[in-house]
Structure 1
Amino acid sequence: MDILKERIKEDAKVLDGQVVKVDSFLNHQVDIDLLNEMGKEFKERFKDEKIDKILTAEVSGIAIACIVAQYFKVPMVFARKTESKNLDSDKYESEVYSYTKGRTYKVMVSKRYLKKDKNILIIDDFLANGKAVESLIDIVNKGQANLIGVGVAIEKGFQAGGKTLRKNGIKLESLTIIDSIENGQVRFR
């Protein structure tokens, strides 16, 4: 997706550890026009699939997932990272390790919002090693729902996440794939 590649070239910052910081337009401050184009693209890429719900992880995937849900005209639910009084006690849980945060945490979805045999599309902002997506897939499986596919805005193609998902037969649609980061420069596939 050329418009996303251009924004990454213009506005992203590469940090130590090959972290691509896109907080100025994607996951802190959000460019709604860009997200709208991304939502259209995900709708096009999954147009032949019956989607009942969009699932994402708290926090960074929420904005993109909302726009995608709008195009599919279905609800969006996000896996929460923290317990709260207003989260149902009857929930599906999974653990995920966050490379950027350097810790493991639980993600949770109320059983009320993930029903057996419903068709689920997972949407997220980044795919690197795939741990966040794996935890969401685990939740989909625990709910006996049908995983239709995974859509990510930015895939780090030089890390294992995308390769593992594809090897496992999961339909993965990445709007852009970074092949490498060399000397602080992002190179696209």
Structure 2
Amino acid sequence: MERLKERILHEATVINNDVLKLDALLNHQVDPILTMEMGKEFASRYAGEAITKVITVESSGIPVGFTTALALGVPLLFARRKKTLIADPDAFTERVPSFTKGIVTDIMVSRQFLNDSDTVLFIDDIIANGDAARGLIKIIERSGAKLAGLGIVVEKSFQAGARTIREQGIRVESLVQIASLEGGKIQFL
């Protein structure tokens, strides 16, 4: 996705050697046309996998997850980060740290919406250390659903997240892979 790379080069901000701010594209503002292109690309890469649902973690994964689900013609399911008064008390829950937020939260998915008849495609905006991804993968495994793979918009290849998930035998498709943020410069793989 060359257009995505160009947008990252022009609109992302390198905070330090580990953190890339993508607020203009993914995390605060969303370009609907680019987001539709990303969803169609993920749908194309996972065509033929008999996917029944797309799953993501709220909130930054929702736009790309939605466009992927739309392109596949299946529902979007997202893991909640905050428990509400009407939340399923018997939900699948996993405690995960957030690399960029610097906090630990619980993610939860209602048992009503995820079960052993599902084949899910996990879509997320960015992967660094992979803690949230590993947490959602544990939830998917406990539900009995089949994980077709992960679709990641931006993979920071210099951090261990995507690599450790691939080492588990899970398919990971990234639209963009960043090799380095050293010296404030974005270097693509």
User: Which amino acid letter does the alignment assign opposite residue 92 of structure 1?
Assistant: F
State, as a whole percentage, how many aligned pairs show the same letter: 44
Match in the other structure for 1:179: 179
Match in the other structure for 1:134: 134
Cα distance in 2 for residues equivalent to 1:182 and 1:19: 10
Cα distance in 2 for residues equivalent to 1:63 and 1:95: 23
Question: 1:148-159, aligned counterparts within 5 Å?
Answer: 148-159=148-159
Could you tell me how far 1:27 is from its partner in structure 2? 1.7
Match in the other structure for 2:75: 75
Cα distance in 2 for residues equivalent to 1:91 and 1:25: 31
Match in the other structure for 2:5: 5
Match in the other structure for 1:48: 48
Query: What is the DSSP-based 3-state SS (H/G/I as helix, E as strand, rest coil) of the residue aligned with 2:136?
Result: helix
Question: 1:98-109, aligned counterparts within 5 Å?
Answer: 98-109=98-109
Q: Summarize deviations over 1:81-135 as a string: whole Å, max 9, x none.
A: 1110121112100111101111111000000010113101100000111111101
Query: What is the DSSP-based 3-state SS (H/G/I as helix, E as strand, rest coil) of the residue aligned with 2:150?
Result: strand
CA contact (8 A) 2:17 2:182 kept: no
The alignment of Structure 1 onto Structure 2 pairs a total of residues equal to: 189
Match in the other structure for 1:119: 119
Query: What is the DSSP-based 3-state SS (H/G/I as helix, E as strand, rest coil) of the residue aligned with 1:113?
Result: coil
User: Displaced runs of 4+ in structure 1, greater than 3 A?
Assistant: none
CA contact (8 A) 2:99 2:128 kept: no
Could you tell me how far 1:16 is from its partner in structure 2? 2.8
More strand, by proportion: 1
Cα distance in 1 for residues equivalent to 2:182 and 2:93: 37
Match in the other structure for 2:89: 89
Cα distance in 2 for residues equivalent to 1:174 and 1:130: 13
Cα distance in 2 for residues equivalent to 1:178 and 1:25: 16
Tell me, which stretches of 5 or more residues in structure 1 are unaligned? none
Indicate the RMSD between aligned Cα atoms, in angstroms. 0.9
Could you tell me how far 1:32 is from its partner in structure 2? 0.4
Q: Summarize deviations over 1:38-62 as a string: whole Å, max 9, x none.
A: 0111011111211001110011101
Q: Summarize deviations over 1:129-159 as a string: whole Å, max 9, x none.
A: 1111101101101101101100000000001
Cα distance in 2 for residues equivalent to 1:95 and 1:16: 27
After TM superposition, the structure 1 stretch with the greater mean CA deviation from structure 2, 148-157 or 22-31, is 22-31
TM-score by length of 1: 0.97
TM-score by length of 2: 0.97
User: Which amino acid letter does the alignment assign opposite residue 85 of structure 1?
Assistant: L
Could you tell me how far 1:79 is from its partner in structure 2? 0.5
Tell me, which stretches of 5 or more residues in structure 2 are unaligned? none
Matched, 1:143 2:143: yes
CA contact (8 A) 2:17 2:181 kept: no
Could you tell me how far 1:17 is from its partner in structure 2? 5.1
